[in-house]
């Protein structure tokens, strides 16, 4: 099949490379000059495990890059994967609308499927159809939310948990996209536009709410003596109603207290659904609380830092990306913590295996030798590289604040290392 993917971001590039690997011919359209130059030079604009291998294999064979829409009439279907950032007025649909306008400028009446993969607030796909598509009888518009997670995006795309097709048009219009997704083994759902859009927000808000839920209780156990939140969490995990097998960590990845969620999706999608509920005058205090608890996580973390670290020594901040196995720093909690520490006149360095710069702060690569010179550490991102910290023989006494409940307490038995985990009596 001949496929167009609009936007070579995290979702677009992964979609394009994975589909190009499935015997399709894929053209990726990107308007940002620096990005398209990199891509045409066979370079990726970001780090994502497994992507480079697919990209190199299919580059200029079944995977092509362009900065224009000239070729839209030669395509069978087009995925729109442009950003939908949140601003004060709500989710900004400008990039989606511009890409549709550019498609239509070049479009000559022929059968074509346009698929919205970007995350859009409920009601958007119907609105877009009414605004742009009603006079084009040969154009079909579908909503097909994407659930991949950065850091495991290629794997998630190739082995999805579910595929959702949202349509308010005739089901037979879905034939081609159903055929395209045939190699993927998972459950399919044919829903309305609105159900499909809500399903995406339902999922992201659910996982974000687990993080804030866990944090709410972690703040309490930090304020009391004798608490180890890992143990408290295990009591919940053993509840058979949750059906968590120990081999499948599922909820365990989200019901973990810490410094809160960042990244390009959870913060903007929870805000997006809050705004949608606001607009519809529907009670939304539960959703608002997810954000409130998340923003409190930074102040809570600062209290722990102030209690344990003095300003004369340099702190080593471990991790800049919003999560492990990614170099994405959008809404990373490290930037929030680093900015506050700077205001408070703390001195710090930031170490990250992939990120070179975050905001105005330069990062250093991870190096076991150079790390020995620090006495204070704050763990912000769960990079595997940091997991062996307990094995390092430090010259002096060391304090580690674990903001992700990443380290196993039992491994830190050495007298020289004091491990302080958020949620475990850190402020009692």
Active site residues: 265
7 binding ligand NAD? (CB under 6 A)? yes
As measured in angstroms, the least distance from the Cβ of 387 to ligand NAD is: 24
Q: Pick one of 5, 10, 16, 201: the residue that binds ligand NAD (CB under 6 A).
A: 10
95 binding ligand NAD? (CB under 6 A)? yes
CB contact at 8 A, 100 and 128: yes
Residue 98, H or E segment: helix 94-106
54 binding ligand NAD? (CB under 6 A)? no
99 binding ligand NAD? (CB under 6 A)? yes
371 binding ligand NAD? (CB under 6 A)? no
32 binding ligand NAD? (CB under 6 A)? yes
Relative to beta strand 357-358, strand 361-364 is antiparallel
Our CB check for ligand NAD shows the closer of 267 and 301 to be: 267
Residue nearest to ligand NAD (CB): 9
DSSP code of residue 47: -
Question: Beta-strand (E) ranges in 30-131?
Answer: 63-66, 77-80, 86-87, 90-91, 112-116
Contact segment (CB under 6 A) with ligand NAD among 97-105, 173-181, 295-303, 306-314 equals 97-105
Residue 399, H or E segment: strand 398-402
Contact segment (CB under 6 A) with ligand NAD among 94-102, 175-183, 229-237, 283-291 equals 94-102
276 binding ligand NAD? (CB under 6 A)? no
CB contact at 8 A, 400 and 377: yes
Q: Pick one of 17, 18, 29, 113: the residue that binds ligand NAD (CB under 6 A).
A: 29
As measured in angstroms, the least distance from the Cβ of 15 to ligand NAD is: 9
As measured in angstroms, the least distance from the Cβ of 291 to ligand NAD is: 16
DSSP code of residue 387: G
The Cα–Cα gap between 186 and 156 comes to: 11
CB contact at 8 A, 121 and 272: yes
Spatial strand order of the sheet with 315-318 comes to 357-358, 361-364, 348-351, 315-318, 376-379, 398-402, 417-421
Q: Pick one of 83, 121, 122, 423: the residue that binds ligand NAD (CB under 6 A).
A: 83
Please, which of residues 184-223 interact with ligand NAD by CB under 6 A?
none
Our CB check for ligand NAD shows the closer of 143 and 221 to be: 143
12 binding ligand NAD? (CB under 6 A)? yes
CB contact at 8 A, 366 and 353: yes
Cβ neighbour number for residue 56 with a 10 Å cutoff? 12
Our CB check for ligand NAD shows the closer of 144 and 424 to be: 144
CB contact at 8 A, 272 and 89: no
Contact segment (CB under 6 A) with ligand NAD among 24-32, 173-181, 229-237, 277-285 equals 24-32
Relative to beta strand 361-364, strand 376-379 is unpaired
Cβ neighbour number for residue 255 with a 10 Å cutoff? 20
DSSP, collapsed to helix, strand or coil, labels residue 287 as helix
CB contact at 8 A, 166 and 142: yes
As measured in angstroms, the least distance from the Cβ of 263 to ligand NAD is: 7
The Cα–Cα gap between 200 and 305 comes to: 36
Interface characters, 115-154, with ligand NAD (x: CB under 6 A): ---xx--------------------------x-xxx----
Our CB check for ligand NAD shows the closer of 65 and 348 to be: 65
DSSP, collapsed to helix, strand or coil, labels residue 304 as helix
Q: Pick one of 3, 75, 82, 163: the residue that binds ligand NAD (CB under 6 A).
A: 82
As measured in angstroms, the least distance from the Cβ of 364 to ligand NAD is: 25
35 binding ligand NAD? (CB under 6 A)? yes
The Cα–Cα gap between 207 and 195 comes to: 18
As measured in angstroms, the least distance from the Cβ of 265 to ligand NAD is: 5
Q: Which residues bind ligand NAD (CB under 6 A)?
A: 6-12, 29-32, 35, 81-84, 95, 98-99, 102, 118-119, 146, 148-150, 264-265
């Amino acid at each position: 099949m001949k496929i167009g993917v609009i936007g070579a971001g995290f979702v677009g590039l992964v979609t394009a490379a994975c589909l190009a690997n499935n015997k399709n011919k894929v053209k990726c359209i990107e308007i940002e000059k620096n990005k398209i130059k990199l891509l045409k030079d066979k370079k990726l604009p970001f780090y994502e495990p497994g992507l480079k291998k697919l990209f190199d294999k299919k580059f200029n064979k079944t995977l092509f890059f362009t900065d224009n829409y000239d070729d839209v009439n030669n395509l069978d279907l087009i995925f729109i994967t442009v950003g939908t950032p949140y601003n004060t007025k709500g989710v900004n649909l400008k990039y989606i609308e511009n890409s549709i306008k550019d498609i239509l400028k070049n479009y000559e009446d022929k059968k074509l499927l346009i698929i919205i993969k970007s995350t859009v607030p409920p009601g958007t796909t119907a609105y877009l159809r009414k605004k742009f598509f009603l006079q084009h009888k040969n154009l079909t518009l579908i909503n097909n939310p994407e659930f991949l997670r950065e850091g495991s995006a290629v794997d998630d795309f190739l082995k999805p948990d579910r595929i959702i097709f949202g349509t308010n048009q005739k089901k037979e219009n879905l034939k081609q996209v159903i055929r395209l997704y045939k190699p993927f083994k998972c459950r399919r759902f044919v829903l309305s536009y609105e159900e499909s859009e809500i399903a995406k927000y339902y999922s992201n808000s659910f996982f974000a709410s687990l993080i804030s839920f866990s944090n709410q209780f972690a703040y309490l156990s930090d304020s009391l003596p004798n608490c180890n939140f890992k143990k408290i969490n295990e009591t919940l995990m053993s509840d058979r109603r949750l059906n968590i097998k120990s081999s499948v960590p599922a909820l365990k990845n989200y019901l973990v207290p810490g410094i809160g969620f960042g990244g390009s999706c959870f913060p903007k999608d929870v805000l997006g659904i809050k705004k949608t509920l606001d607009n519809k005058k529907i009670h939304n205090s539960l959703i608002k609380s997810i954000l409130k608890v998340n923003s409190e996580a930074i102040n809570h973390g600062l209290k722990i830092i102030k209690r344990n670290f003095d300003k004369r020594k340099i702190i080593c901040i471990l991790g800049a990306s919003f999560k492990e196995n990614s170099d994405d720093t959008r809404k990373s909690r490290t930037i929030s913590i680093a900015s506050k520490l700077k205001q408070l006149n703390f001195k710090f360095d930031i170490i990250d295996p992939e990120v070179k710069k975050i905001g105005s702060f330069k990062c250093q690569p991870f190096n076991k030798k150079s790390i020995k010179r620090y006495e204070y550490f704050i763990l912000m991102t769960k990079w595997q590289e940091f997991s062996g910290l307990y094995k390092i023989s430090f010259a002096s006494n060391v304090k580690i604040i674990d903001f992700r409940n990443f380290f196993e307490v039992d491994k830190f038995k050495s007298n020289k290392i004091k491990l302080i985990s958020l949620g475990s009596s850190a402020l009692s």
